[in-house]
Copies of this chain bind each other. A is one copy, B any other.
């Protein structure tokens, strides 16, 4: 069983901040989120806290050290609590520090981005980047609660919202059935560059709830990521390589979008690849990587260092069809080269 209680809804973050005790709670907040949302900014000011500079380049061993020193200086005990408020960078860091401080204290994840809400905050995979690789160092430490308030999404850069939709597509592809159909039928009923309406916020609330249900099921069955949970890496073995070579030009979700196209190519499923392309295009996501991430050999080298490889062989998550996503071991390099061509050709 997962220990995590999932709560999705408008107003949930404000309620959480209100109900937490005054003492023994340490807030780890994303810099941008703290500036954009008065309630988060007020929590940072009122409590012992640490502000994480925005951006994947700050998810480092050095930032984790600074955060752990702040937790120590704040006198957070073994029965203390860490609250991570922000995107995947912030919740990964908050969870990582919570798992190490006094050999582990409880934590709550309050995602404020689409990627964070539909994917990163849930599941207990905490990490920082070290040695040039992504998430090379980390722990499994499930949050006690994931509190996703879709109203926090309304201040995001539209590009970040779009990037998050790649993770939504990934999760729906794993779930298949109604979840897949609903994402394909999704009429977001708004231009992401315009102001958000209550209806759009509600739409995102529904998307988040559905994605978290799919993920919670996989995490409950396989916390340590050795069985069915590995399907959640769909698009990520490729994606991490694009991301590593093109940082900071490519957002995580954008890299995953490219990875999904490659994964469909690896499955030899032409109609699925076409459907994915069309969906990503409609959401204005990239269909090919920027120049620094167009070198096949460099991409292969990055994939080889990826932690999803075990025992010296490539492991790939292959979407044969919606609802039929498989972990395939012993994949040959030629097949990966062909899959990468899906976004490099033309």
Contacts and interface: CB of A to CB of B under 8 A. Distances in A.
Nearest to A60: B65
Nearest to A138: B103
Contacts of A131: 68-69, 72-73
B99 A139 contact: yes
A224 B68 CA distance: 20
Nearest to A126: B103
A139 B104 contact: yes
A102 interface: yes
Contacts of A133: 72
A309 interface: yes
A25 to B, nearest CB: 14
A226 to B, nearest CB: 8
A162 interface: no
A130 B310 contact: no
A197 to B, nearest CB: 40
A103 B139 contact: yes
B139 A125 contact: no
Interface stretch (A74-82, A108-116, A235-243, A317-325): A74-82
A130 B99 contact: no
A61 interface: yes
A77 B127 CA distance: 16
Given A103-B140, A136-B102, A139-B99, A311 B79 contact: yes
A279 to B, nearest CB: 31
A291 interface: no
Contacts of A101: 136-137
The 5 closest A-B pairs by CB, nearest first: A72-B131, A103-B138, A102-B307, A100-B137, A69-B131
